[in-house]
Structure 1
Amino acid sequence: MKALVLLGSMMLGSQVMAQKVGSVDTAFILIDPDHKIVVDAYDDPKVKGVTCYVSRAKTGGIKGGLGLAEDKAEASISCRQVGPISFEKPLKQQEEVFNQSLSILFKKLRIVRMVDVERNTLVYLTYSDKLIDGSPQNSVTAVPVDRTTMIPVK
């Protein structure tokens, strides 16, 4: 039992949490919550000064209210410099930096950071790991870093 509690606390400690920025209703549902588009903010855990804003659909209704609905596999991302950019240690060339469960059936929203060394730019890609018609929906954004601050890469 103690091992399960310890494992659970270690997993929660390493998880990056989204901060809700806001939402808009897109369809009225008489019973329980409406369908929405939500906007969440994610601070890059390895790059100080960069925040990613992700908008995505959130299903309402009875299933949505109970957390059993399957949200659409569509999202949009915009990452911005929100302060001085700094790096504690070198970054991997490509790394998943966030993921969030969108359904109880293994679908996740994922955000991957890539480093474009030639242009000294951080590129962020969001996608869902559930395929739609053989091709995943995705969105990309980039944050250029001033040439005086070179991005350290492993």
Structure 2
Amino acid sequence: MAKGETIGTVDTAFKLIGRDHDIIVEAYDDPAVQGVTCYVSRARTGGVKGSLGLAEDRSEASISCHQVGPIQFSAPIPKQEQVFSERISLVFKRLRVVRMVDMQRHTLIYLTYSDRLIDGSPQNSVTAVPIGTQTPIQLKD
């Protein structure tokens, strides 16, 4: 699973004690597709609980993936695969990014959403990276 690189943050609410509420923007390089980077923005809860990692962050997130270099596949990829995951609460809630392959349009689709052990959220965001027919996409069986 790829690790995120923090690009920046913007404060959204002042907290007297602990970190302010903020929005964080992180970059994730797709581990199986060289030349594709996804940028994910999400809200983070501040205050004492947020600073200690005990607060539950909101489920909303936005994603934008782009070709940042020549596209290369290190190996055949699955038609659908989780490529990034990050904890957004102490135990049960995760932010996930799933890559899907649209072979007909020669495009990679990236979907972000959050889930919990029992109940997930319908909040989601999607982005697409066209590959072009000159770069073959090989799928795993």
TM-score, normalised with respect to structure 2: 0.94
- 1:25-44 Cα distance to aligned partner (Å, 9 max, x none): 00011111100000000000
The Cα offsets for residues 35-86 of structure 1, whole Å up to 9 and x where unpaired, read as 0000000000000000000000000001011110100011000000000000
Counterpart of 2:39 in structure 1 is 53
| Two-structure CA RMSD over aligned residues (Å) | 1.1
Find 2:22's aligned residue among 25, 36, 49.
Answer: 36
Distance 2:2 2:31 in 1: 8
State the aligned residue count.
Answer: 138
1:72 to 2:67 alignment: no
Counterpart CA distance in 1 for 2:124 and 2:91 is 20
Give 2:69's aligned residue.
83
Q: Which has the higher contact order (CA 8 A, sep 6+)?
A: 2
Q: Deviations over 1:111-151 (max 9, x none)?
A: 0000000000000000001346xx52100000000211121
Between the aligned residues of both structures, percent identity stands at 63
- Answer 1 or 2: which has greater helix percent: 1
Q: Which amino acid aligns with 2:88?
A: L
Structure 2 residue runs of 5 or longer lacking an equivalent are none
Moved over 4 A (4+): none
Larger Rg computed on CA atoms: 1
